[in-house]
Structure 1
Amino acid sequence: MVRHNNQLPNNLTQLQNLIKRDPASYKEEFHQQLAHFETTLEIFNLNPTQYSKKLDEQAMFLAQVAQCYLNEMKLFPQKIVDVLKRHNTVLHNDMRLSLCKCLILLRNKNFITPFDLLELFFQLLKCQDKFLREFLKTHIITDIKNINMKHKDMKFNSTLQNFIFSMLRDSDTRSAKLSIDILIELYQKNIWNDHKTVNIIADIGCFSKVMKVMVASLKFFLGKDEEEKEASDSDDEIDPRDTMISNKFNKKTRKREKMVDKVKKIAKKMKKKKQKAPSFNFSALHLINNPQGFAEKLFKQLETSNDRFEVKLMTLDVISRLIGLHNLFLFNYYPFIARLLMPHQREVTRILQFAAQASHELVPPEVVEPVMKAIANNFITERNSTDVMAVGLNAVREICLRCPLAIGEDLLRDLVQYKNYKEKSVMMAARSLIQLYRQSMPELLHKKDRGRPTEASIEVKSKKYGEIEVKDHIPGSEVLLEKETIEPKKKNEKKHKKGNGSDSEEWIDVASSDSELEISTDSDDTDAADETDDESEEANDADNDNETEEKQNNDTLTSERKVLKAKRKANPEQEDKTKHAREIAMDTIFTDEDFKRIEAAQAKKHVKGLKRKSVVEEENEDGELVQLSAIENIHKKRKHDKSARLETVMKGREERDKFGYKDRRKNIHCSKTNREKRKTKNYQMVKHKAKGKVKRSFKDKQIAFRNYLVKQKKMR
C-alpha cells in the first residue's frame, strides 16, 4: 500500500503515537527513522562539540518506541553509551543532557542494566555542567531507592558501594563531592543505612584531601541541625480544626476552598504519623567498626593540620562524641583541649561542651585534671565577669556529671563557696554543683552542704575508680508487693469503719508515712541506742552523766550524724526490700504497668526529704550528648511560658480603661466627625475622594523645595 502525501517521516510525534497503537503497521517508517538515526550519528561523531537538534529528536523518538521493536533496538542503548563515554567532556551541554534522558527512558524499559547506567552517570559527574550533575544526582538516588523499595538487593548494593568507594578516592573534586553527597543522602533516607556505608564515609570521607568531602563527612557524623528539623515539621503546627470551623461561617471563595483542601491533607498526614509506630534511628557513630582507631586517626590529623578554625571545631566535636559514646581512651585529647580553654577564645562554650562530652567514668581523674584546672583558673575567678564564672561552673558540673572523680575534695569545696555569691547566675551554678554531688558522692562535700538525707541518697554507695555496681534484682520492684495487699486492706478498713463508727477515725495507720524518713527525736534516739551494741550504750550513759556537755553538742549536731542514724534505721528495712525485690524478679514477669509503678517509686525516693526538684535533674535529661544550653544556662531571668505571660497581661489590665481605638471625643455619646467615619466606610463609598490624593513626582517636590528655600532667603 502506497501512502500519498505522507507527512509521517517529518512529524515524529504523530508517528510515535501511531506506532505505540499499532507497531506492525508502521514498521517500515520505524526502519526508515532508525536508518536516519545511524546516518545522523555518524555525521555527529565527526564534530561532537556542536548541538544536533536532528539527532536529539531522533534519539528521543527511538527511545519512546523501543519496547515495540525489541530485536531491532538491542544495540541502540550501547550506541548512546559509546557516544557519552567517548565524548563526555566535549559534548554540548544540551546534547549531553538529552542523551542522558534517553538512557533513563531505556533504563525504565529494562533495555540497560541499572549498574551499567549508574556507572556511566558517576563518570559523567566529572563534567563541568552544574545542571547535569544535579540532574544525575537526583536520578541516581531515585533509582537506587526504587531498586530497594520492595526488598533490598544486597548483591547490587554491595557492587555499587564498592564502585562509589573507588569514586571517593578519585582526584576529581566534583565527582568525589557528589559521591559523598549521594552516600549521605541514601543513608538519611534509610536506603543504605548499614554499617558498610558509615564506615566508607568514616575511612575515606573524613580523611579525604578534598576539603569539601572532609567537611561533608564530619557534618554527617554530627547529624542534622535542629533548625532543619523544625522547618520540616512546620506544616504539622497548623491546627486544621480552626480552618474548618472558620470556613463554615466565612464567605465561600476559591482561595478558601484551596486552603481547606490543604488543611485536610495536613490533617490526614498528621493522623498517619500518630498511627505509625515510632522509628528509632541511631546515630551513625554507633555503627563504626573501630571507634578507637578512628578517633586516634582523627586526632592525629587534627594535630598536624592547618585547616580553618571551623573545621578544627567540627573534628574536635566528632572526637568528643566518639570518646563519650564508646568510652574510649584518648589521653592526649584533654591537654590539647585544655590549651584552648580561655574566656576570650572564639566559640569557647562549644569547646567546653566538647570537654564535657569527652568525659566518662573510665577516664582516670589525673587525665582530666588539666581541663579542670584550666576551667578553675581561667573562668571561675572574681576577676572575670559573672557570666564567665557561671559558664565555668556549669562546665565543671557537666564534666563531673559524667566523671564524678574528675574533681578533688579541696577544689570542690572551694567552688561550692560560691553558693552565697551576690550574682544569681554564679550562685545557681554553684548550687547545681552541690546538688549533683549530694546525689552521687556526698562525702566529698562539707557536712553542712550534704543536705537532708533521702531514701535515694541512703541507697547510693560512692564508687571508686573503675568500680561497677552489679545488681541481682530490679531496684524498686518491692513496690509491686503493695499491689497484693491494697485490696484486702481496703476491705478490712471498710468493715472496721462500719463496726466502730466515728471512733475509728482516731486510729490512723502511719507505718509507711513520711515520718519514717524524718530525723529521730530524743526518744527515738534512746530506742535506737538500746538496739545497738555495748559500746553505743556506754556512750549514751556518758552523755546522760554530762548534761552540760550534751547541751553544747546539741547545738553543733551535724548532718553527718543525721545521715548515719537514718542509715542505721534503714539498713534492716533495706535488706528486706532487696530480698523481696529479688524474690519478685525470680517469680514474676513484669508488665508495662509494673515498670511504670517502679519508675514512679524510684522517682519518689529522690523527692522525699527535698523541698523541690534539683537543678541537675531539670537540666540534664538522659542523653548521649551534652546540650550547649546546659553550659550557657545563665540564671538571670527565666522566660515565662504562655500561661505566665497571659497572667501578667491580664493583671496589668485590671485597673485600666477598656483597650481599643481611642478617639479625641470627650463625651463618648456625641457623634464622630466625617473624617473619622470615613475610616469605617466601604472603599467604594470613598474612592472618589481617594483619587484626589495623587502623590507628587520627584520633580514637583524639587520645585516646591526650591521655592521654599527662596522664600526663606527673602524673609531674612
Structure 2
Amino acid sequence: MVRHNNQLPDNLPQLQNLIKRDPASYKEEFMQQYNHYLSLLEVFRLNPGQENKSLDELVMFIAQVAQCYVEELVTFPQQLVDLLKTQSTTLDQNMRNSFCRALILLRNKNLIPALDLLELFFQLLRCPDKSLRAFLENHIITDIKNMNAKHKDMKLNSTLQNFMYTMLKDSNPKAAKMSIDIMIELYKKNIWNDTKTVNVIANVGCFSKITKVMVASLKFFLGTDPDEKDPNDSDSDNEPDLKSAILANRVNKKTKKRQKQLANIKKQVTKVKKKKTAVASFNFSAVHLIHNPQGMAENLFKQLQSQNERFEVKLMHLDVISRLIGIHDLFLFSFYPYITRFLQPHQRQVTRVLQFAAQASHELVPGEVIEPILKTIANNFITERNSTDVMAIGLNAVRAICSRCMLAMGEDLLRDLVLYKAYKEKSVMMAARSLITLYREQIPALLHKKDRGRTTEAQAEMAPKQYGASVAHDNVPGAEALLKSAKSVSVKEEDDSDSDSWVDVNESGDEINISDSDSEEESDNEEAGSDVEDEDGDDEEVDDEESDVEDEEDDEDESEQESEEEEEIQVDKSEQAEKSSQNKKKSKATSNGKSVEDVSNADKSVKTLQAKEAAQEIALTRIFTDDDFKRIDAENIKKHVSNARKRPLESEQTEYVKLDDIEMIYKKRRTDKASRLETVMRGREDREKYGYRDKRKNIHCSKTNTEKKKKKNFGMMRVKARSKVKKSFKEKQQSMRKHLLKQKKMK
C-alpha cells in the first residue's frame, strides 16, 4: 500500500512515536530513513571535521527506536564505535558528542556490550574536549555502579581495572588524571574498595611523573579524618519536632496537604531514630590496605628528596609518610632529621610540620631518634624570647609526640619544661600542666616528687615502661568488678576428701579459697564465728519483733525478709571472722618482730592475688555480656580516679594527630557585642528584678500618677514643667493679680 502525501519522512519525532507504538506497520518508513543514514555516513567519512545536522538527527532517531528492529541494526553500534576509534580527535565536537550519546542509549537497551563501550570511552578521555571528558567520566562511574548494584561482577571489574591501570601510565596527562579520578570515586562509592585498587594507586599513582596524578593519589591516601563529621549530617539540629506537628494538625483545619506533611515528618523521625540506633560500621582506610608500607614510605621519601616540587606537594609527601610510619609502626630513621630542618617558628605552616612529627612517632622508635626533635622544639619554640602563643604551641607539640613515644623525653628536659606550670600567661601554663598530667599517668618517676600527685590504683599496678616491652594479660583487666557485683552469698560445702571450699562474700566481693591444710586459720574462724553469734543474738530478737509487726500487714513479705536477714548475718559473720583472723596474724607477726605495716601490705598482696585468680577463673569459664563489660569499664575508670585529685583523664590514642591538639591555645578570645549581651542575659537568670522597685504589695494593681508621669511623653507634661521654673518677682505679682481678679468675678 502506497501512502500519498506522506509527510513522515520529514517529521522524525512523529515517526519515532509511531514506530514505538507499532513497529511492524512502519518498517518501510524506517528502512527508508536507515538507507538515508547509510548514504549520509559515507559522505560524512569524506570530511569528518564538518558538522552534518541531518546525520546527527538520524543517528539519534535510529538509537531511539533500535530495540524495535534489532536484526536490521546489528551493525549500527559497531559503525559508531569504529568511527569514534579511528577519528576521535578529528571529528567535529558536536558530532562526537551526539555519537557518544547514541551509544549510551544503545547501552541502556543492552544492544552493545558494556566492556566494549567502556574501553572506547576510556580511550576518548584523550580528546581535547573538557565537556566531553566530564560527561564520559560521569557515565563511566554511573554505569559501573549500576552493574555492581545487585552483586559485584568480579570478572568484568577485573577486566576494567586492568585496562584502567594501563591508562594510568598513559602519556596523555588528561587521560591519566581522569582515570585516577574515576578510580578514586569508585573507591569512595564502595564499588572498587578492594586492595588491588588501593595498591595500584599506591604503586603507580603516587610515583607518576605527572604532577596532577601524583597529587590526586596523595590526596586519596590522606582523605578526611574519621573523627571529623560533615555538618550536613547533624541529625540533632535538623530533627523534626513530631509533637508540635501533631498538635498543629489537631488544632488547625484538616486538609490533605497537612496530612501529607504530618506523614512525611513521621517518616523523617523514624529514619532519624533508625540512624541513631544503627550499629556503627567501620571501613578500613586506604592506608591500612597497602601491601608493602615500608617500601612505599622509603620510595616516597626518596622522591621527596629528589624532586623540586611546590611546598604544598612536599607537605603532602610528609603527611603520607608520617601516617604510614605511625599506623604501621615503620622504621625510617632518616625521616626525623629531615623534618627537624622545618621546625622554626617563622616556617610556613609550621603547625602542620609539628603534626607530622607527632604522627611519625610510635613506641617502637628508639627514644634517641626522636629526642633531637624534642630538643629542637624546646630551643626554637619554648623560650621566653618568643610570644606566648609560640611557646604554647611548642609545649602542645611536645606533649603530642611524647603521648606516642613516652621514652623519647629525658628527665632533665622534662623537669625544665615542667617549670612553665607557674608561667604568667595562661596558655603556656595550661600546656605545661597537660604535659605533667601525661607523665603522671604513664611515667611519674621522671617528674619531681611534688609534681607526681597522689598514686592511683592504676599507677600502682602499672609496671615500669621499657623499650619494646609488651604487656600480655592473662585475664580481662578489671574483671574483679564482676566479683563485687555478686548479690548472694553462696557457700559450697564438699566432702572431707576435698581440700578446698569456696565462699562468696557480698560486700567485699572477693572469692576466698579456704584450704583445710591451714588448721590455725580454721580454728580462728570458728572461734570468731561463735563470738559473733553471741553478740548478734539481741539483734536477731529485734529483727524478729520487726518482722512480726510486718507480718500483720502483709504475710507474703515474711519469707523474703527472713532470707535477707540470714544473708546479712552470714556476711557479718564472714567479715568479722576475717577481721579476727587478720588481727591474730598481726599479733603473731609483731611478736615475731615484724611491723604492722608489713603485715598489712602482705595481706593486701594476698588479697589482690586471690582476686586476680578469681577474675582469671571467671574469664575462662564465663562469657561476658555487654553489662559485664560496662561494669569492667567503670572499674577501670575508678582505678584511675581513686586516690587522685580532680584532673582530666588522658584520652585514648588515635591513629591520626589532630591539628587542634597542637594549635589549642587557652586564651580568652575577643567577643562581639551580641555574645557579650548573651553572657549578660545569661547572668541575669534566676535573679530578683533589678532597677526601680515600686512600693506596691500587689504587682497587678494600678500605679500612682507620680509613677505614670515618668512614662508620659514630654509634650504632654511641658506646661507643668514650665510652671516649675523659678519665677521673678514681677511674674509673681502678675499671677497674684490674675488670681485675685478671678476670685472677685466669681463673687
* TM-score interval (norm. to shorter): 0.7 to 0.9
Amino acid at match of 1:601: E
Instruction: Report the secondary structure of 2:9's partner residue.
Output: coil
Q: In 1, Cα distance between the equivalents of 2:236 and 2:145?
A: 26
Amino acid at match of 2:11: N
Alignment match, 1:244: 245
Residue among 284, 288, 291 paired with 1:289: 291
**CA offset digits 1:435-481 (Å, max 9, x no partner):** 11111111112222211111111111112111111111111112112
Change (3 A) 1:231 1:167: farther
Residue among 425, 436, 455 paired with 2:427: 425
Alignment match, 1:337: 339
Say whether the 8 Å CA contact 2:246–2:262 is kept in structure 1.
Answer: no
Say whether the 8 Å CA contact 1:235–1:266 is kept in structure 2.
Answer: no
Say whether the 8 Å CA contact 2:235–2:272 is kept in structure 1.
Answer: no
* Higher mean displacement: 599-608 or 2-11: 2-11
Change (3 A) 1:386 1:534: farther
Residue pairs, 1:10-409, within 5 angstroms: 10-224=10-224, 229-233=229-233, 237-241=237-241, 244=245, 248=249, 266-267=268-269, 269-274=271-276, 276-409=278-411
Q: Quick check: 1:636 aligned with 2:681?
A: no
Q: In 2, Cα distance between the equivalents of 1:52 and 1:303?
A: 55
Q: In 1, Cα distance between the equivalents of 2:366 and 2:199?
A: 29
Amino acid at match of 1:285: V
Alignment match, 1:707: none
Alignment match, 1:696: none
Amino acid at match of 1:651: G
**CA offset digits 1:645-684 (Å, max 9, x no partner):** 97752323655569xxxxxx985775899xxxxxxxxxxx
Unaligned runs of 5+ in 1: 517-523, 541-561, 659-664, 674-716
Unaligned runs of 5+ in 2: 491-504, 508-535, 548-564, 693-706, 716-747
Change (3 A) 1:415 1:484: same
Shift of 1:149: 0.7
Q: How many residues align?
A: 627
Say whether the 8 Å CA contact 1:168–1:176 is kept in structure 2.
Answer: yes
**Normalised TM-score (structure 2):** 0.76
Alignment match, 2:658: 627
Change (3 A) 1:19 1:443: same
Change (3 A) 1:594 1:209: same
Residue among 393, 398, 413 paired with 1:411: 413
Q: In 2, Cα distance between the equivalents of 1:187 and 1:451?
A: 50
Q: In 1, Cα distance between the equivalents of 2:209 and 2:411?
A: 47
* Higher mean displacement: 269-278 or 600-609: 269-278
Alignment match, 1:651: 683
Residue among 596, 602, 621 paired with 2:636: 602
Amino acid at match of 2:134: E
Q: In 2, Cα distance between the equivalents of 1:346 and 1:60?
A: 56
Alignment match, 2:6: 6
Amino acid at match of 2:638: K
Shift of 1:277: 3.7
Change (3 A) 1:490 1:603: closer
Q: In 2, Cα distance between the equivalents of 1:450 and 1:115?
A: 68
Change (3 A) 1:53 1:234: farther
What percentage of aligned pairs have identical amino acids? Answer: 58
Q: In 2, Cα distance between the equivalents of 1:588 and 1:103?
A: 64
Change (3 A) 1:27 1:400: same
**CA offset digits 1:73-119 (Å, max 9, x no partner):** 11100000111112211222221111111101111111111111111
Change (3 A) 1:235 1:400: closer
Residue pairs, 1:550-561, within 5 angstroms: none
Say whether the 8 Å CA contact 1:49–1:91 is kept in structure 2.
Answer: yes
* Higher mean displacement: 132-141 or 446-455: 446-455
Shift of 1:589: 0.8
Say whether the 8 Å CA contact 1:458–1:567 is kept in structure 2.
Answer: no
Amino acid at match of 2:645: K
Residue among 606, 609, 616 paired with 1:572: 606
Q: In 1, Cα distance between the equivalents of 2:206 and 2:361?
A: 23
Shift of 1:636: 2.5
Say whether the 8 Å CA contact 1:20–1:65 is kept in structure 2.
Answer: yes
Say whether the 8 Å CA contact 1:236–1:266 is kept in structure 2.
Answer: no
Q: In 1, Cα distance between the equivalents of 2:713 and 2:266?
A: 47
Change (3 A) 1:450 1:343: same
Instruction: Report the secondary structure of 1:599's partner residue.
Output: helix
Change (3 A) 1:448 1:286: same
Change (3 A) 1:245 1:225: farther
Q: In 2, Cα distance between the equivalents of 1:535 and 1:389?
A: 56
Q: In 2, Cα distance between the equivalents of 1:499 and 1:31?
A: 109
Aligned-residue CA RMSD (Å): 4.0
Change (3 A) 1:52 1:481: same
Shift of 1:273: 2.9
Change (3 A) 1:383 1:178: same
**CA offset digits 1:537-588 (Å, max 9, x no partner):** 5xx9xxxxxxxxxxxxxxxxxxxxx9x9997664333222221111111110
Change (3 A) 1:432 1:332: same
Q: In 1, Cα distance between the equivalents of 2:211 and 2:264?
A: 43
Shift of 1:357: 0.7
Q: In 2, Cα distance between the equivalents of 1:8 and 1:280?
A: 60
Alignment match, 1:546: none
Change (3 A) 1:42 1:657: farther
Q: In 1, Cα distance between the equivalents of 2:478 and 2:266?
A: 47
Q: In 1, Cα distance between the equivalents of 2:445 and 2:677?
A: 42
Instruction: Report the secondary structure of 1:5's partner residue.
Output: coil
Q: In 1, Cα distance between the equivalents of 2:138 and 2:179?
A: 12
Say whether the 8 Å CA contact 2:239–2:272 is kept in structure 1.
Answer: no
**Normalised TM-score (structure 1):** 0.79
Alignment match, 2:621: 587
Q: In 1, Cα distance between the equivalents of 2:310 and 2:86?
A: 40
Change (3 A) 1:225 1:456: closer
Q: In 2, Cα distance between the equivalents of 1:2 and 1:391?
A: 91
Amino acid at match of 1:634: I
**CA offset digits 1:264-300 (Å, max 9, x no partner):** 6754653453464432122110000100001111111
Q: In 1, Cα distance between the equivalents of 2:253 and 2:219?
A: 50
Q: In 2, Cα distance between the equivalents of 1:500 and 1:368?
A: 74
Say whether the 8 Å CA contact 2:454–2:645 is kept in structure 1.
Answer: no
Change (3 A) 1:370 1:166: same
Shift of 1:638: 8.7
Change (3 A) 1:499 1:388: farther
Q: In 2, Cα distance between the equivalents of 1:289 and 1:43?
A: 55
Q: In 2, Cα distance between the equivalents of 1:588 and 1:19?
A: 74
Alignment match, 2:499: none
**CA offset digits 1:486-506 (Å, max 9, x no partner):** 588889x9989835979x99x
Residue among 437, 440, 448 paired with 1:438: 440
Instruction: Report the secondary structure of 1:214's partner residue.
Output: helix
Q: In 1, Cα distance between the equivalents of 2:625 and 2:423?
A: 49
